[in-house]
């Protein structure tokens, strides 16, 4: 449970740190995957403003709603505000989400690769 809270906090901080003035909103809709602390994370954003975050093969960490204004991503799971930026390198899209750890206040960033 503590690991999940840390992941969510890390997402929030990385997003906050990566917010840039006038930055273009990333295209979130789709599925993204990252490795974090030895675990595979899969994050899916849908057109209807909902998302699912999975940890490992079958573990659903959370489902919820989100809004994106510029690079400010807000999860409707207690109003965690994070930052999101994207980039494309060699036809591969990456999404970096920034978080602040709820337990330690540290800044974290997780970079996801688009898988669909």
**Could you read off the pLDDT of 18-58 as tens digits, one per residue?**
444 445 778 899 999 999 889 999 999 999 999 998 998 77
Q: For residues 74-91, give the mean pLDDT.
A: 79
Sorted by sequence, the CB contacts under 8 Å of residue 34 that are 6+ apart come out as 40, 41, 43, 110, 111, 112, 113
DSSP state of 23: P
| Comparison of pLDDT for 73 and 34, the residue scoring more | 34
pLDDT of residue 72: 86
Q: Identify the CATH class of 2-114.
A: mainly beta
| Rounded distance between C-alpha atoms, residue 43 and residue 73, angstroms | 14
Residue 13: pLDDT over 60:
no
The model's pTM is 0.72
| Rounded distance between C-alpha atoms, residue 47 and residue 4, angstroms | 25
């Amino acid at each position: 449970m503590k690991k999940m809270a840390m992941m969510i906090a890390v997402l929030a901080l990385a997003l906050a740190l990566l917010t840039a003035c006038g930055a273009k909103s990333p295209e979130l809709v789709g599925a993204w995957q990252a490795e974090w602390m030895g675990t595979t994370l899969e994050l899916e954003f849908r057109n209807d403003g909902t998302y699912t975050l999975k940890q490992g093969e079958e573990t659903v960490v959370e489902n919820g709603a989100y809004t994106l204004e510029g690079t400010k991503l807000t999860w409707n799971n207690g109003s965690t505000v994070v930052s999101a930026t994207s980039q494309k390198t060699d036809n591969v899209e990456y999404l970096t989400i920034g978080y602040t750890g709820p337990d330690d206040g540290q800044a974290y960033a997780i970079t996801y690769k688009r898988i669909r």
